[in-house]
A and B are shown apart, each in its own frame.
Chain A
Amino acid sequence: MEGVLFPRGVPEGREGLEKYRSRGGYDALSKVLATSAEDVIKQISDAGLRGRGGAGFPTGRKWALTRETPEQPHYLVMNGGEDEPGSKKDRVLMENLPHLVIEGVIISAYAIGAAKAYLYINAHYEAATKSITDALAEAKDAGYWGENGSEFSLDIEIVPAPHNYVAGEDTAVIEVIEGKKAWPRQKPPFPVTVGLFGKPTSVNNVETLANVAPILLHGVDWYRKFGTADSPGTMIFALDDDVNRPGVYELPFGTPLRYLIEECGGGLKNGKKIKAIMSAAPSCAFLPPEKIDTPLDHYSMRDAGSALGCGVVRIVSEGTCIVEEVLRIAEFFAAESCGQCPACRMETSTLSMMMKKVQQGQGGQPILEQFGKILAFNKGKGFCSLIVMPGPPIESAITLFPGDFEAHLATGKCPAN
């Protein structure tokens, strides 16, 4: 299927400079340099590009806010931390389409008025780091960036990202680049006004930046042919080993979830049936199987009671116990809470401890009523969104699958075993 990022399907190997150029690579950059930064931002806004890191913030708006902040200098940060469990889209883009990513970085820097860009890349991603490093050298030799490259001066530097989950949060990214611990900052101020080294900074996800060159090369109307009027474009979704064909798939927004699972993923392994779906694992609500025709876009997923996040779709098959699933999720967030905000430590560790009690058959029905109370008590606290993440999976699991909880509480044993 034709796509914005993968026009000929998911690329098998690494695309070098010549191959990228042969399909119009860096032509968007040439076009951009002949126009104003404001016009570039307008085109990205008109295209309706939204961040692909999970929050879905309008990219054009983020760029405009950064550009318009008078404080100098401005910085661009590419966020390739990608520590969400199961996510691999940014790795695939950096490994296989490094020039697509780098062209997006250069154009974005031009748009926001930055002379320095930091590429924050998951330190586990050795192949991706090498691919980007090599591509940066090729692009610099070709004169696409550098002190005397293009028509504006740009320096690009790679920064290895630590492996913890919260290190992908945009202000934690900034802290790491500044040489500090990966601890999120309190917002506001937002990075667009007070970011890296206290200066205006646009932090953009790898996939977001990869969309930039195709939009500017082919135009807004072309881009808007993908997806829906409310959610134009495509998004890369990741399927894990629970399906017959795990991998990444680029699909237009609005594609039914069923298409991703059945047509792309080939359905569940061993012909198993679906018990529940997480469309933004691990921080979204579980969806029951009857929601399988929900369109894959932010609005439809929200209306269905879940979220789209960064496109990691996890399917729970029949015969799997939801208590065990949600215990793993609660323990994940307790372990990944950075420990900076007392409320987050209190909430995540308490929820995880409570779920362990449930799994072991302790606490009886009253313990189930406590989950909502602990979540409500901590609502609105904490610097980053990690504190709200355990809520949707835990509360939806209790509502949708009361039988699994009853079985654990009554016997202390898992109904699946």
Chain B
Amino acid sequence: MKRMCLVCQNIDCKSRGSEQLMGELEKRIAAKGIDDVEVKPYMCFGACQEGPNIVLYPEKSWYAKVNVDDLDDITDHLAGGPHVQRLDTIDSSLKELIYQLLDTGVF
């Protein structure tokens, strides 16, 4: 199974540019030659105030308030680089809820 880069596309994240982020991520991932990651839209992670939200699965890294300037760091992480700590701000109980959901195959 390909690794997934799930980008929230609910109202809030979309209004903060998550559609453009998806397109831009796809380009940068391709430019880096990463071929085992699929960028996919996701309905909602329930952290609307913290959007745009991106979740890497099965790594289980959740990046919040992402903007275009953060995408190179996220792409580096996908290529084996370090976790982007400054974007890791989501409460652990919400993370747990969403990760459990993803573990059951809901994406």
Whether both chains belong to one complex is answered with: yes
Enumerate chain A interface residues (CB-CB to B < 8 A): 339-340, 342-343, 345-346, 349-350, 353-354, 357, 362-364, 366-367, 370, 373-374, 377-378
Q: Give me 11 other A-B pairs in contact (C-beta within 8 A), A343-B46, A346-B46, A367-B105 excluded.
A: A345-B44, A349-B44, A350-B101, A353-B106, A354-B101, A354-B106, A366-B100, A367-B104, A370-B104, A373-B100, A378-B46
Chain A residue contacts of B106, Cβ below 8 A:
350, 353-354, 357, 363, 367, 370
Output the nearest chain A residue to B103 by Cβ-Cβ distance.
A366
Q: 24 A-B residue contacts at CB 8 Å? A: A339-B11, A342-B10, A342-B11, A342-B44, A345-B10, A345-B44, A346-B45, A346-B48, A349-B44, A354-B101, A354-B106, A357-B105, A357-B106, A362-B104, A362-B105, A363-B105, A363-B106, A366-B100, A367-B104, A370-B100, A370-B101, A373-B97, A374-B97, A378-B46
How far is B49's CA from A102's CA once the two chains are assembled, in angstroms?
A: 47
Closest 5 CB pairs of A and B: A346-B44, A363-B104, A367-B104, A342-B48, A349-B43
Q: Is B12 an interface residue (CB 8 A)?
A: yes
Chain B residue contacts of A342, Cβ below 8 A:
10-12, 44, 48
Output the nearest chain B residue to A360 by Cβ-Cβ distance.
B105
Assess whether B100 is in contact with A350, with CB atoms less than 8 Å apart.
Answer: no
How far is B97's CA from A370's CA once the two chains are assembled, in angstroms?
A: 8
Assess whether A366 is in contact with B104, with CB atoms less than 8 Å apart.
Answer: yes
How far is B101's CA from A374's CA once the two chains are assembled, in angstroms?
A: 9
Q: Categorize the interface residue count of chain B.
A: 10 to 19
Chain B residue contacts of A340, Cβ below 8 A:
11
How far is B44's CA from A406's CA once the two chains are assembled, in angstroms?
A: 27
Output the nearest chain B residue to A353 by Cβ-Cβ distance.
B106
Within 8 A of A (CB), among B1-32: 10-12
Neighbour of B43 across the interface among A345, A362, A366, A367, CB < 8 A: A345
Nearest-CB distance from A384 to chain B (Å)?
Answer: 16
Nearest-CB distance from A382 to chain B (Å)?
Answer: 12
Chain B residue contacts of A349, Cβ below 8 A:
43-44
Chain A residue contacts of B104, Cβ below 8 A:
354, 357, 362-364, 366-367, 370
Output the nearest chain B residue to A342 by Cβ-Cβ distance.
B48
How far is B101's CA from A362's CA once the two chains are assembled, in angstroms?
A: 12
Nearest-CB distance from B54 to chain A (Å)?
Answer: 16
Chain A residue contacts of B48, Cβ below 8 A:
342-343, 346
Output the nearest chain A residue to B93 by Cβ-Cβ distance.
A377
Chain A residue contacts of B103, Cβ below 8 A:
366
Within 8 A of A (CB), among B41-97: 43-46, 48, 94, 97
